[in-house]
Amino acid sequence: MASINALQQPGDFCVMPRDEAQGIFEIAFLLPAHAGPSGIIVRRVENVVQAPQAAAHVWNWDGNTERPTVNPEIHSTDGQREWRGWLIAGAFVTTPK
């Protein structure tokens, strides 16, 4: 998606720059079962699994804007509904309970 305003369906996302020189971006998205958009701050790294996180609130990101993968797991609540899962190759994968 081109912008956060274009998010319409669960699973839609957009990648927006925060500090491109430092590789810091935001991924905004509509999570399954959530009424409104959420977002995470991400840092572009070479290996999303092995690279240390810059901070607890910054996810590692593979740099792909079309099919992003981030680490660690995303845990979000919209005040009523909780969602826990992964963003892998542009798809939101719910963690089994």
Among the ranges given (39-53, 55-69, 73-87), the one the predictor scored with the smallest mean pLDDT: 73-87
Phi, psi angles (nearest 5°) of residue 31: -85, 155
Sequence ranges of the domains in the chain: 4-94
Q: Looking at the predicted structure, is the pLDDT value of residue 19 above 90?
A: yes
Q: What is the pTM of this model?
A: 0.91
- Hey, which residues does 28 pair with through a beta bridge? 14, 39
What is the rounded end-to-end Cα distance, in angstroms, of the chain? Answer: 30
| Listed residue (59, 61, 89) closest to 72, CA to CA | 59
Q: Which residues touch 84 (CB under 8 Å, ≥6 apart)?
A: 73, 74, 75, 76, 94, 95
On average, the pLDDT of the chain sits at 92
Q: Which amino acid is at 28?
A: A
- The rounded percent of the chain whose pLDDT value lies above 90 is 76
Do strands 24-29 and 58-61 pair parallel, antiparallel, or not at all (unpaired)?
Answer: unpaired
Asked if 11 contacts 90 with a C-beta cutoff of 8 angstroms, the reply is no
